[in-house]
Chain A
Amino acid sequence: MTVASTSSTSASPSASPATSASGESLLSLRGLSKTFDLSPPLLNRMIERKGKSFLRAVDGLDIDIPRGTTFSLVGESGCGKSTVAKLVVGLHAATRGKIRFDGTDLTGLHASARGAYRQRIQMIFQDPYASLNPRWRVRDIIAEPLRSFSITSGRAEEQREVGRLLEMVGLSAQDGDKFPHQFSGGQRQRISIARAISSKPDFLVCDEPTSALDVSVQSQVLNLMRDLQAELGLTYLFISHDLAVVDFMSDYVGVMYLGRLVEAGPAQRIFEAPEHPYTRLLMDTVPDITMARRDRVPVTGEVPNPITPPPGCSFNPRCPLASDICRAQSPELVAREGGTRVACHAVTGADGSSGRPAGAAHSPGARARGVA
């Protein structure tokens, strides 16, 4: 696990992410929020005397991803991790906050100006059966970004480049003549990867890229992704619910629960000494093939409805450490020893004097709460 460029991010416990990593992080999210309006039509609301209802899918996210590293977001379904992926690639517009990519805030850009960044930010999707057009030959699938960004000139050069990309992901140049249905799931995911890197991006958003694959194939794809990262200097935002996969892939990890970051920091530190009770719960529920913990007691409770989250810390109904303050007040991320940030009253409260809210000064938007 390479934790090369962490020295400045994790130097002092009081360092906020904005000041420490602004010089070298390729992607910085500041107070990023996405709220979906789920209200019924006006007439229904008047008849039923109901207010508007909102789903806060992502709520004040602060993340820095240094160039050439992998940042993973983990969490259960509905925690907002895929929404973050869509916000970063521009498939959703942010409600609040900033997405700073290589120094430029993408949220403020006009659609036409954003085009240049689409070439540099590409995405790999979860389902390789749904993300490749079944009626297109593989070479056209991979060549589409080359054409739309005018990367190659002329058909011969385009075909050479497609062949080179196919070989790079472990397929052969002749495979370009085939259709997606002639490939297995793992090979299709290789095609998705070839398409994603064809526009020579420096940033890849990978939303559960191996969840649809069998284990023996998953390891092939994960190895390939790490090789490509080393070879091309790619930066990954990696989204997964599988902690073992995240541990293998990541330099940094952010754990999300109901739209908020509950713990974030260097992967090694978080996997060795998870602090937030939810992170510990997640680690504890990973099925253990060594059979060492066969008789452990499973954690109770489920993720609450995100439309009506509990007051205070949204994890409090399931938390073994919950106290009165957890039910009243939502905790802020506090910088901890080892370069991590944790949002938990029980963890940071005991020695609360040592840490101050990390990044709070830089994300005033994240403080605004109480949407109707």
Chain B
Amino acid sequence: MTAQSNTSPLLAVRDLSICFDTRHGPLRAVDGITFDLAPGEILGMVGESGAGKSLTGTAITGLLERPGRIDRGEIRFEGQRIDNLPAEAMRRLRGRKIGAIFQDPLTSLNPLMTVGQQLIQTIRTHMNLSREAARRRAIEFLSEVGIPAPDARIDQYPHQFSGGMRQRVVIALALCAEPSLVIADEPTTALDVSIQAQILDLLKRMCREHGAAVILVTHDMGVIAETADRVAVMYSGRVVEIGPVEKVVRAPHHPYTKGLMQSIPRIGSNAERLTQIDGAMPRLTDLPEGCAFHPRCPRAFDACRAAKPAPVPVEGGAVACHLYQGEPA
């Protein structure tokens, strides 16, 4: 979908579809998404709740649970297929090569283990280090993520940390085995704005210093604009637009991205009304024929009601919209 032929991608997702088997038949939550991720790159995935962005992240980490399953497509990590790996092989890959940061820092840490025990366990599971060396490394990481007095705080429990500090610990935990890919699913949504800026800055710096690529899943376009290199906009299980973040933010192509960008209130705009996209994202149980966005789209025409649009390359990215079908790339 993207032109990145110069380097071999770290992660290649091809036509990935995720399906939930229910009593009323299968529901397709993610429908044929394709993208590449270069080493060290930060890819933002943005969309409304239910667009399939978190599920995509879950599938890449191999944590997809029944009744959800990958029913089509493949995920390649460093050239190797990982969507069909046995659970044990995937477990070894996860943490070592692929780290994960989740939304709620309170539930993603074990409340019965000290922060140090969790870090040391992770480090020793994935790296051949002695207990003392692992502890030294854990302290180093805590100080790197900006936790004051790390040699004292390493022996404290998660509840003794504030929300922002806990998310720092989670970042240390995700990066302590030096993974080359981190999936960050709404890492700052549970945090206050002033803490959010600190955590995003930290995430960016840590991943740059440790050479990790990031898939940043969020509903907040502001977070993407501040952090990501490229952005994939998802709607109803499909990537409707993907491209360099400044292109997508400043000059979006897809009518949904345009509406989304305009509906975000901005400070100092003195607007009397906000631009709104009428309606809501369709439920999986009654997806419309053709493009899933057409019932809300101001520019929908016959083709939109008939067929799902295929992605068309546009400057540095791609857009899946019938308006751009047949236009020169």
User: Which residues of A come within 8 Å of B, CB atoms?
Assistant: 1, 76-77, 184-187, 214-220, 222-223, 226, 241-245, 247-248, 268, 271-272, 281-291, 294, 297-300, 302-303
Inter-chain CA distance A189–B48, complex, in Å, is 16
A-B contact pairs, 8 of them (CB 8 A): A187-B280, A215-B221, A216-B263, A243-B193, A244-B265, A245-B265, A283-B267, A290-B266
Flag whether B273 is at the interface (Cβ < 8 A): yes
- In the complex, the chain B residue whose C-beta lies closest to that of A293 is B226
Q: Most A CB atoms within 10 A — which of B219, B245, B268, B269? A: B268
State whether A244 touches B223 (Cβ < 8 A): no
With a CB–CB cut-off of 8 A, which chain B residues contact A247? 265-269
Question: Is B264 at the interface (CB under 8 A from chain A)?
Answer: yes
Given A244-B267, A247-B268, A282-B194; A294-B278 close (CB under 8 Å) = no
Instruction: Kindly list chain A residues whose C-beta atoms are within 8 Å of the C-beta of B260.
Output: 215-216
Question: Is B275's CB under 8 angstroms from A285's CB?
Answer: no
In chain B, what residue has the closest Cβ to A78?
A: B192
In the bound complex, do residue B195 and residue A219 qualify as a contact, i.e. CB atoms below 8 Å apart?
no
CA distance A186 to B271 in the complex (A): 21
- Taking the complex as formed, is B261 at the interface, i.e. its CB lies under 8 A from any CB of chain A? yes
CB distance B267 to A186 under 8 Å? Answer: no
B197 x A285 contact (CB < 8 A): yes
Interface residues of B (CB under 8 A from A): 48-49, 162, 164-165, 192-198, 200-201, 219-223, 225-226, 245-246, 249-250, 259-261, 263-271, 273-278, 280-281, 283
Quick one: given A76-B193, A218-B263, are A291 and B273 in contact (CB under 8 Å)?
no
A289 x B225 contact (CB < 8 A): yes
Could you tell me the distance in whole angstroms from the C-beta of A268 to the nearest C-beta in chain B? 8
Q: Which residue of A77, A245, A268 contacts B192 across the interface (Cβ within 8 Å)?
A: A77
Shortest distance between the CB of B128 and any CB in chain A (Å)? 36
Is the CB–CB distance between B221 and A186 below 8 Å?
A: no
Q: How far, in whole Å, are A220 and B274 apart by their CA atoms in the complex? A: 8
Enumerate chain B residues within 8 angstroms of A222, measured Cβ to Cβ: 265, 274
Extra inter-chain contacts (8) besides given A223-B274, A243-B193, A298-B198, CB under 8 Å:
A184-B280, A215-B219, A217-B280, A271-B268, A290-B225, A291-B226, A297-B201, A298-B200
Instruction: Assess A223 versus B220: contact at CB under 8 Å? Given A76-B192, A77-B192, A215-B263.
Output: no
Task: Give the shortest distance, in Å, between B240 (CB) and chain A (any CB).
Answer: 13
Contact present for B222 and A219 (CB under 8 Å): no
Q: B273, A226: Cβ atoms under 8 Å?
A: yes
Cα distance A241–B188 when bound, in Å?
14
Which residue of chain A has the shortest Cβ distance to B188 in the bound complex? Answer: A287
Closest to A187 in B: B280
Minimum CB distance partner of B49 in chain A: A214
| A216 to B49 alpha-carbon distance, docked (Å) | 11
Complex Cα–Cα for A298 and B195 (A): 9
A287 in contact with B280 (CB, 8 Å): no
**Closest Cβ neighbor of B192 among chain A residues:** A76
Contact of B195 among A223, A286, A287, A302 (CB under 8 A): A302
Contact B48 A288 (CB under 8 A): no
Task: Enumerate chain A residues within 8 angstroms of B265, measured Cβ to Cβ.
Answer: 219, 222, 242, 244-245, 247-248
* Contact A216–B193 (Cβ < 8 Å): no
Assess whether B278 is in contact with A220, with CB atoms less than 8 Å apart.
yes
A185 to B193, alpha carbons, bound, how many Å? Answer: 23
Q: A77 to chain B: which residues have CB within 8 Å? A: 192
* Pair A298/B192 contact, Cβ less than 8 Å: no
A288–B268 CB distance below 8 A:
no
| Shortest CB distance B153–A (Å) | 14
Residues of B within 8 A of A298 (CB): 194, 197-198, 200-201
Which one of A185, A218, A219, A302 contacts B164 once the chains associate, using CB atoms below 8 Å? A302
Query: Chain B nearest CB: distance from A364 CB in Å?
Result: 33
Expressed in whole angstroms, the Cα–Cα distance for A184 and B50 within the complex equals 11
Contact for A302 among B165, B221, B245, CB less than 8 A: B165
Contact between A286 and B280 (Cβ–Cβ < 8 Å)? no
The reply to whether B48 and A216 form a contact with Cβ atoms under 8 Å apart is yes
Residue of A nearest to B268 (CB): A271
B246 near A220 with CB under 8 A, answer no
B195 neighbours in A (Cβ, 8 Å): 76, 302
Contact (Cβ within 8 A) B48 A219 = no
Q: How far does the Cβ of A227 sit from chain B's closest Cβ, in whole Å?
A: 9
Nearest neighbor of A79 in chain B, beta-carbon distance: B192
Q: Bound complex: CA of A298 vs CA of B268, how far in Å?
A: 21
User: A272 — which chain B residues lie within 8 A by C-beta?
Assistant: 268
Q: Are B276 and A219 in contact (CB under 8 A)?
A: yes
Residue of A nearest to B266 (CB): A244
Query: Which A residues are CB-close (under 8 A) to B222?
Result: 286-289
Instruction: Specify the chain B residue showing the minimal Cβ separation from A170.
Output: B278
Q: Note all chain A residues with C-beta closer than 8 A to B197.
A: 284-285, 287, 298-299
Tell me how far the C-beta of B293 lies from the nearest C-beta in chain A, rounded to whole angstroms. Answer: 11
Q: Is the CB of A214 within 8 A of B201?
A: no
Contact between chains at A289 and B274 (CB < 8 Å): no
Q: How far is the CA of A243 from the CA of B221 in the complex (A)?
A: 15
Contact in complex: A294, B226 (CB < 8 Å): yes
Take A76-B192, A223-B274, A241-B192 as given contacts and tell me if A288 and B264 are in contact as well, using a CB distance cutoff of 8 Å.
Answer: no
A271 near B194 with CB under 8 A, answer: no
A286 near B249: Cβ-Cβ < 8 Å? no
Contacts of A226 in B (CB 8 A): 273
Q: How far, in whole Å, are A77 and B191 apart by their CA atoms in the complex?
A: 9
A165, chain B: closest CB distance, angstroms: 20
Instruction: Determine whether the beta carbon of B221 is less than 8 Å from that of A223.
Output: no
What is the chain B residue whose CB lies nearest that of A298? Answer: B197
Q: How far, in Å, is A345 (CB) from chain B's closest CB? A: 21
Tell whether, in the assembled complex, residue B267 and residue A289 are in contact, meaning their CB atoms are under 8 Å apart.
no
Q: B223 to chain A: which residues have CB within 8 Å?
A: 287
B225 x A291 contact (CB < 8 A): yes
